[in-house]
Structure 1
Amino acid sequence: MNGFFKRLGYFIEDKRGLVIMVSILLLVAALFGATRLTWATGIETMLSADSQVYKDYQEFNDHFGAETVIVLARADGLSKLVELDNITGLDAIEQQLSTSDGVLSVVGPGFALRQAMAQLTGEAVLPTDESTLQALLLEDGVLRPEMKSFFPTDNFGIIVITMEGGVTTDQVNALVDEAKTAIAGISFDGMEASVTGATVIFAEMQTMMSTTMGTMVGISLLLMLVILAVVFSIRGFFTWRWLPLGVVIIGSVYAFGMMGWLSVPITMVSMAILPILIGLGVDYAVQFHNRYDEEARRGETAAEAIIDSVTHIGPAIAIAIIAACLGFGALFLSPVPMIRQFGTVLIIGVIACYLVSLFILLPVLYSHDRRKGLDSAVEKKKQKTVRTADNHTGIVERGLARLAPWVIRNPLLIISVAAIFTIVGVGLDSRIPTETDENKYISQDLPLMKDFNDLAALSGGSAAFNILIKADNVSSPEVLNWMLEVEGRVLTQSVIPVVGASGIADTVAQMGDGQIPPSQEAVDQALGMVPDLVKANLLTDDQTMANITIRTGAGLNTEELQELKTVVEGYLASPPAGVTATVTGQGVIGIELMNSLTSGRVEMTLLGIVLVFLGLFVLLKFNAARALIAIMPIAMIIGWSSVVMYLGGIKYTALTATLGSLIIGIGVEFTILMMMRYNEERQKGESPVVAMTTAMTKIGRAVITSGLTVVGGFGALLFARDFPILTDFGVVTMINVGFALVSSLIVLPTIIVAIDMRKERKLAKITA
């Protein structure tokens, strides 16, 4: 491998102009690719399109529409809520939105009042006077029970807009914008209205994600500037230490360009990738810059410095990159699409950052030093004269030189403490809860989420499940009676709180004194009396599909939802001949996501460890001991991380579920760099103690700088205040990278030296 990288060093030194020109052409292509980037915020980011759960949900959505937009009206009291002018304003909103593109039905106070007037006068119009309005809405000064669906309390009114199945994101966004415009055009008295609902949250998320990404990138760049200015001390003028950051920005453009060309969308998970790439990329660039600077300080010419840098640090970083990609590759095992996409982008990104460090950073350094005359004989002599002054040890090196003897002397203490925390963490891991409600991934303090939570409280719960009934004729008396029986059993027999179970069967039964009409003709007559806007969400036009909605009490956890789903499926086990019933809806999505994030998370972590070990085993010339030593200190961090999450009350999410594979991929770089520098010193004939002290002192500064840049990249996630999923991930990952530094600088050295000294003692006994 060293031979290949030495030839690569000669190529970069000789063809630097060509290398930079090709890099520029690729940058232009990447910029074009970046314009093809798209956003994804829907169910397709959480469930595989090939899964049966996703197919069932889409089939239901295509026929009954799963996308709903809610207009939530807040009044100062009942008198304002039922005031004629305010009711007229709500009805105007209903009428305007009912003609919008992609809208299936609009049901609200205006709809209910028009139906009531139709029964009284034969004409579906709004009341024109206060007395008639009050008579329809109130009984003894209290809202009539039949109006509670539209006025759940004395302060709130609700309009429900259901969209057709298969609507596009643009149609949803257009409806949300039109609803806001309609509300703005009404002058309410003592009342205000807003647009809410899960569909609205997803529609608004793209704007929020774009804003948050801009903030995170800005913060990460600022953190990198500060970290490099404080920690990364190199030759030349002060701003030269920021060169790695500039190069990595180009690498990030390459990565995002590849995302565009490969049609990988930006999701709630992958939106975190840019600050992460900046941190990881600067890490790799710093290693190359630090080694080049070290070679130049020794008095080497610019040509010698670039060739020796590529020869010595190139293989180490390449091995680290391959190991990292193998760790990230374990994310492909996840059933969650946005986690798999996160793994894809990570692999593309780290490879791009490695390549720009090789083919842009080093040629720029070389060209700069050539222009400064570093290759001239006079300048070379000057460098040799002053190199002692240039090679002064800084505070970091001095600290590491003092730490090394203590680490080497205390292997038993260090390994014991590390092992204990690992064992405790593994035991606590199963006690860490998993958050599957995607709405909780967004800050609950946002006005948008406050409206949504108010809506959930008003509705008495949430629509957990939908039952999709299919038959040649779902409106036959036999099928309707069976559906009515299922609804009754769900409401009365389930041990899990259910606040509602409704569909076309109970709607028809209400028109027949609680009974399903005995003949098809009578059923058809009853169906003809059901308003089209109500029927559209309960029964297809060809009467081959029907929808039963099951609403649960608020606050059910995933285990309770799974139990309810099992119970409901039991009630559906013996349908009439020719009838099929499928349980779908948001509750099923939550259950599936929970299963994916729990079982998939453990499997991803274990696969990551195995893949990295096998990769190192091959790359380190089939030396199993060295591969095990490189990965073991980092694998311990997974246990330490569980301790932090448990004590910090941090839940597993779609992002924190990737922590195991992610930290293996990131942390193994530090151990590989330390091991290879130690081996380099040992090959010079140094003893284990001297070799490790030198390795910790020389490579330790770069490792710490690299670690801090990675921490800085993840630290930018802390400023994503609108997305707790990102801030929690940022906190835990920053701590884990800190653990990786501790493990690489304390746990790894003591293991390596202890093993080598034991080998030397055995060899000494044999030769004695």
Structure 2
Amino acid sequence: MTSLTLDDCIDFVTTHSRLVLVVLLILTAAMGVGVTELDTEGQAGQDDFPETDRSETAAAIEERYGGPANGTETASSAVYVRAADGNALSRAALLDALRYQRSVTTNETLAAALTDGDSGGDGTGSVGSPNGSVVSVANLVAIRAAEDPDADLEAQIRALESASEGEVASLVERTLAEDPEARRLVADGADSGAATAEGHRMLFRFAAGDDGAPPSDAQRVLYDAAAERDGTVASAGGGNGVALEYFTLGQHAFDESNRQLNENTMELLVPLTLALILGVLAFTYRDPVDVLVGMIGVVTAIVWMFGILGWLGVSAGMTMFIGPILIAGLSIDFGFHVFMRYREQRSAGPDDDRAPAGIRPSMRRAVRSVALALGLVTLTAAIGFLSNVVNPVGLIRDLAVGITLGVVSAFVIFVTLVPALKIGVDGSLERVGIDRHKRPLGDGAYLGGLLRGSVALARRAAPLVLVVALLAGAGGAVAWTGLEEEGVQTQDDPAAEWKQSLPGPLAWEVADYDRHQRHVREAYRPRAAGDGDRFQLLIEGDVTADGSLERVRAGLERGEETGAIPEESARTDADVRSPLSVMETAAAENDSFAATLESADTDGDGVPDRDLESVYDALYATAPEAASSVIERTDDGEYRSLRVLGPPERTGFDDGRVDDIEAMAATIESGDGAAGDANAREADLDLTVTAVSETIVTESQLAVITDGILRVLLLALGAVFVTLVATYRRLHGSATLGAVTGLQIALVTALVVGGMFVLDVPLTLLTALLMSLVIGLGIDYSIHVSDRFAQELERGTAPFAALEAAVVGTGGALLGSTLTSAGAFATLLLHPHPQLESFGTLVVLALVTAFAVSVVVLPSALVVWVRYAPSAEPTGRPAGGGPESARE
């Protein structure tokens, strides 16, 4: 019944092509209206991510202690001053920085957002600025020059203007030598005593918004003023002066970087992608009319995808970028099969009673021949993508829905609109005397010879081919364990020089934001809790037992050894906070607590090692706010946990840094691996230590998501296999033929994994998600070959003749599709971002592998199936379903 219904639809499309075109034109216009309603702002929210042990620990710390910055209500925004070929600490450069401050602080928007300087929650203090809300080395030096700690900004400027170059250099040296906070404001500022530096930064402190960030309007003022001042040549009292570069790394600088990234991508990748697609289509079709009709189908399928998303109110999100590329590739594949089968029907010899000469009958038979295969491809691809609707991340769920709608749209377009349009165009051209008979791609002497060679190989050595394929697939499966796992890939290096040197608009322009970010990462250390990601250690268990604080010290020492925290000589209060640092500060300010601490320290090493509950009680009595930030006490006075906060890291933690932090946690748990107290190491303490940070929590969540994608992928593979077995049993009367076809996807997946290992493509959230694409691509080509093979057998063709017809007739279309789609995706390899490079590499790898398996391995599998499988001959109806199709 289903087949007859499909035949009726195809008959209607090919018989009433003009009416079909009018209806589809109206539908496409409606889809265009839906595109205008498209939600392009959808993003993954933190609530979408799954709970992990690390995220639960982070939430527990937040609930018990507050955030890493311990509840500060301020947020800093930095303005960087750089003199790449000069001294950013010269008198002229420092004066220019103060004048920049004067220009921005007179802005009403910024002035209203600045704090009054009474709070030092972010570590900036209240000195060195017009109102205590801005601090920089220029302010600190100018205050020394004015010899007045309360000097306002105008007084600071006058003091520097009055000082000589030598006097300013001396003040700079003294400031950096005596003030470790000032050294952190200077590029490479860890070296004290130097009066020269490539750059320095000014920190503007604002009242934090609800998201903990500085107000956007205030950041805009800093960004615009920096952009206007960029390139200033600062000169004070003669001389050539120094060229200064002002920049920020806030929200608006990031937005401008994204705009430039999109512009680069559009100017470089889109023209190359279109050129490659059109070039390959022109080469394979050798007919501009077919290229035009095929591209109309591609564009229409993409419009339908976005239009349906708009009407349904589903966020486009990642579909905006990934969707058009995937659907274009699949649509081109569909077009190749429709056009090449149509050409076969029209170009067959006069003795072939299966090949009617007319346009409509040829198209009717062509669409009937490929419709079931295209439908199976659509179904299996949809299974692969829809398997991700159970993903906890809304962005991925929306992508799964969007791509599935695109796949279905492509199927509908290429069995209705494209055939109808092709009938109309070819009919019009033939009426004016233009011959529209074209040869299918596989009929060429060279390509046809290669494809027939695959059939000959299957005839002579099918078992050997299968053994080699199975060994290669097994190697790929083993390679799975060796894949490098990353949550997401980040771009750490600029675009390659050759990409920047391409002619004209093709040249990749390196965004200033990327260059500035690398400079800040390399030249500055984070200064305060708000400056970056900060790790925390939650210590639970016997926190009042003797020796537990010795374990904490051992962990801190391990952190210094590995570099996870600065050595004590280079450490400031902003770097690390622990029960020990809080106790040390309290003892320095309170003699009574100092005596309590000393009595609990039996070995005189400064760390209390007995009667810790009394020490904690005394600390809470002396400095309750500071104590509550590192020691958790319940309402009934029980001490449940301790907290250690590490130094902030602006760019997050790489894998090596995370390992160092985990080593600290392991040392506190066991007491081993550091020079702590021997008794503490040997004590039988039950301590559990969990390390968290934004990076660690995100990576743990991404790992869960990635694992979930892969588990769903395995289920999808099983669902596709069962679907093919059932479908082939229903359509062709052979479940085993469906099994042979389905096994090819497992082989393609294993080979793709092996290719990822060889090409160093890591397993990330995106590449794991794109493994769903491998299902659709991997089974697509195999379905076309095996379905054509079954059709030929049902016509009574001998097995090897049927195999040749399937491989040669379908292989040409597969090759054209592979070349076109692989060429389109290969352009992503020009993109400097490693995530997009991995995306392009994986898809090209999947396309090439799927093609190779379908024309090399599958023919051998079909030969073995014919020889050994029981009831190997299909018993379904001839392709097209109706008996009349055999007579046409």
1:1-59 Cα deviation digits (max 9, x unpaired)? 43122111122234434432332233233333333445569763896288897796899
Supply the distance in 2 between the matched residues of 1:596 and 1:670 (Cα, whole angstroms). 32
Supply the distance in 2 between the matched residues of 1:157 and 1:677 (Cα, whole angstroms). 70
By how many angstroms is 1:265 displaced? 4.8
Cross-structure match for 2:680:
none
SS of residue in 2 equivalent to 1:77: coil
Alignment of 1:63-74 (within 5 A): 70-74=78-82
Go from structure 1 to structure 2 and tell me whether the alpha carbon gap of 1:672 and 1:123 turns closer, same or farther (over 3 Å shift): same
By how many angstroms is 1:676 displaced? 0.9
Alignment counterpart, residue 708 of structure 1, candidates 816, 819, 824: 819
Alignment counterpart, residue 698 of structure 1, candidates 804, 809, 819: 809
Go from structure 1 to structure 2 and tell me whether the alpha carbon gap of 1:182 and 1:241 turns closer, same or farther (over 3 Å shift): closer
Alignment of 1:130-141 (within 5 A): 130=160, 137-139=172-174
Supply the distance in 2 between the matched residues of 1:696 and 1:157 (Cα, whole angstroms). 67
Verify: 1:414 aligned to 2:465, yes or no: yes
By how many angstroms is 1:364 displaced? 0.7
**Partner letter of residue 464 of structure 2?**
L
Contact 1:641 1:736 (C-alpha < 8 Å) held by counterparts: yes
Contact 1:715 1:731 (C-alpha < 8 Å) held by counterparts: yes
Verify: 1:29 aligned to 2:56, yes or no: no
SS of residue in 1 equivalent to 2:487: coil
Cross-structure match for 1:272:
322
Supply the distance in 2 between the matched residues of 1:451 and 1:624 (Cα, whole angstroms). 61
**Partner letter of residue 515 of structure 2?**
K
Cross-structure match for 1:91:
101
Cross-structure match for 1:403:
454
Supply the distance in 2 between the matched residues of 1:514 and 1:662 (Cα, whole angstroms). 63
By how many angstroms is 1:737 displaced? 0.8
Contact 1:94 1:107 (C-alpha < 8 Å) held by counterparts: no
By how many angstroms is 1:603 displaced? 1.9
Cross-structure match for 1:540:
none
Cross-structure match for 1:541:
none
Contact 2:74 2:205 (C-alpha < 8 Å) held by counterparts: yes
Contact 2:489 2:764 (C-alpha < 8 Å) held by counterparts: no
Alignment counterpart, residue 284 of structure 1, candidates 334, 349, 367: 334
**Partner letter of residue 420 of structure 1?**
L
TM-score, normalised relative to structure 2: 0.69
By how many angstroms is 1:319 displaced? 0.7
SS of residue in 1 equivalent to 2:247: strand
Cross-structure match for 2:729:
621
Verify: 1:424 aligned to 2:490, yes or no: no
By how many angstroms is 1:632 displaced? 1.8
Supply the distance in 1 between the matched residues of 2:382 and 2:789 (Cα, whole angstroms). 24
Contact 2:284 2:441 (C-alpha < 8 Å) held by counterparts: no
Contact 2:532 2:651 (C-alpha < 8 Å) held by counterparts: no
Alignment of 1:666-685 (within 5 A): 666-685=777-796
Cross-structure match for 2:265:
212
Cross-structure match for 1:630:
741
Go from structure 1 to structure 2 and tell me whether the alpha carbon gap of 1:553 and 1:23 turns closer, same or farther (over 3 Å shift): closer
Cross-structure match for 1:492:
557
SS of residue in 2 equivalent to 1:139: helix
1:389-417 Cα deviation digits (max 9, x unpaired)? 99993232343234321232111221122
**Partner letter of residue 97 of structure 2?**
I
Contact 1:335 1:596 (C-alpha < 8 Å) held by counterparts: no
Supply the distance in 2 between the matched residues of 1:734 and 1:137 (Cα, whole angstroms). 57
Go from structure 1 to structure 2 and tell me whether the alpha carbon gap of 1:333 and 1:434 turns closer, same or farther (over 3 Å shift): farther
Go from structure 1 to structure 2 and tell me whether the alpha carbon gap of 1:158 and 1:451 turns closer, same or farther (over 3 Å shift): same
Cross-structure match for 2:278:
225
Verify: 1:347 aligned to 2:404, yes or no: yes
Contact 2:488 2:766 (C-alpha < 8 Å) held by counterparts: no
Contact 2:385 2:400 (C-alpha < 8 Å) held by counterparts: yes
Cross-structure match for 1:687:
798
Cross-structure match for 1:112:
135
- Single out whichever of 177-186 and 589-598 deviates more from structure 2: 589-598
Supply the distance in 2 between the matched residues of 1:757 and 1:611 (Cα, whole angstroms). 27
Cross-structure match for 2:201:
158
From the CA coordinates, give the structure whose radius of gyration is larger: 2
Contact 2:346 2:358 (C-alpha < 8 Å) held by counterparts: yes
By how many angstroms is 1:555 displaced? 9.3
Contact 1:98 1:106 (C-alpha < 8 Å) held by counterparts: no
**Partner letter of residue 661 of structure 2?**
L
Go from structure 1 to structure 2 and tell me whether the alpha carbon gap of 1:285 and 1:490 turns closer, same or farther (over 3 Å shift): same
Alignment counterpart, residue 862 of structure 2, candidates 752, 755, 764: 752
Alignment counterpart, residue 484 of structure 2, candidates 433, 438, 443: 433
Supply the distance in 2 between the matched residues of 1:12 and 1:255 (Cα, whole angstroms). 22
Contact 2:43 2:317 (C-alpha < 8 Å) held by counterparts: no
Cross-structure match for 1:608:
716
**Partner letter of residue 332 of structure 2?**
V
Supply the distance in 2 between the matched residues of 1:203 and 1:388 (Cα, whole angstroms). 50
SS of residue in 2 equivalent to 1:711: helix
Contact 2:227 2:247 (C-alpha < 8 Å) held by counterparts: no
By how many angstroms is 1:600 displaced? 3.4
SS of residue in 2 equivalent to 1:465: strand
By how many angstroms is 1:747 displaced? 0.2
Go from structure 1 to structure 2 and tell me whether the alpha carbon gap of 1:668 and 1:551 turns closer, same or farther (over 3 Å shift): same
By how many angstroms is 1:261 displaced? 4.1
TM-score, normalised relative to structure 1: 0.79
Supply the distance in 1 between the matched residues of 2:739 and 2:717 (Cα, whole angstroms). 10
- Single out whichever of 721-730 and 670-679 deviates more from structure 2: 721-730
Verify: 1:457 aligned to 2:528, yes or no: no
Cross-structure match for 2:443:
393
Supply the distance in 2 between the matched residues of 1:122 and 1:69 (Cα, whole angstroms). 23
Contact 2:489 2:835 (C-alpha < 8 Å) held by counterparts: no
SS of residue in 2 equivalent to 1:430: helix
Gaps of 5+ in 2: 116-120, 190-196, 235-241, 348-354, 497-509, 567-574, 594-617, 630-642, 670-688, 874-888
Verify: 1:12 aligned to 2:20, yes or no: no
Cross-structure match for 1:239:
289
Cross-structure match for 1:577:
none
Supply the distance in 1 between the matched residues of 2:341 and 2:524 (Cα, whole angstroms). 63
Verify: 1:564 aligned to 2:661, yes or no: yes
Contact 1:45 1:338 (C-alpha < 8 Å) held by counterparts: no
Go from structure 1 to structure 2 and tell me whether the alpha carbon gap of 1:156 and 1:78 turns closer, same or farther (over 3 Å shift): closer
1:325-363 Cα deviation digits (max 9, x unpaired)? 112223345555544443333212211111111221111
Cross-structure match for 2:762:
651
- Single out whichever of 413-422 and 317-326 deviates more from structure 2: 413-422
Cross-structure match for 1:306:
363
Go from structure 1 to structure 2 and tell me whether the alpha carbon gap of 1:263 and 1:306 turns closer, same or farther (over 3 Å shift): same
1:120-165 Cα deviation digits (max 9, x unpaired)? 7463624242359767643287473231221242323124567845
1:481-503 Cα deviation digits (max 9, x unpaired)? xxx99997764354753226446
**Partner letter of residue 697 of structure 1?**
V
Supply the distance in 2 between the matched residues of 1:566 and 1:607 (Cα, whole angstroms). 37
Go from structure 1 to structure 2 and tell me whether the alpha carbon gap of 1:139 and 1:722 turns closer, same or farther (over 3 Å shift): same
**Partner letter of residue 305 of structure 1?**
S
**Partner letter of residue 617 of structure 1?**
V
By how many angstroms is 1:637 displaced? 2.3
- Single out whichever of 153-162 and 112-121 deviates more from structure 2: 112-121
**Partner letter of residue 328 of structure 1?**
F
Supply the distance in 2 between the matched residues of 1:359 and 1:214 (Cα, whole angstroms). 34
Go from structure 1 to structure 2 and tell me whether the alpha carbon gap of 1:162 and 1:745 turns closer, same or farther (over 3 Å shift): farther
By how many angstroms is 1:617 displaced? 2.6
**RMSD between aligned alpha carbons?**
4.9
Gaps of 5+ in 1: 470-477, 528-534, 536-545, 573-580, 764-768
Go from structure 1 to structure 2 and tell me whether the alpha carbon gap of 1:419 and 1:206 turns closer, same or farther (over 3 Å shift): farther
By how many angstroms is 1:746 displaced? 0.8
Structure with the largest fraction of helix? 1
SS of residue in 2 equivalent to 1:138: helix
SS of residue in 1 equivalent to 2:485: coil
Alignment of 1:505-584 (within 5 A): 514-515=588-589, 548=645, 550-551=647-648, 557-558=654-655, 561=658, 564=661
Supply the distance in 1 between the matched residues of 2:755 and 2:854 (Cα, whole angstroms). 19
Cross-structure match for 1:44:
45
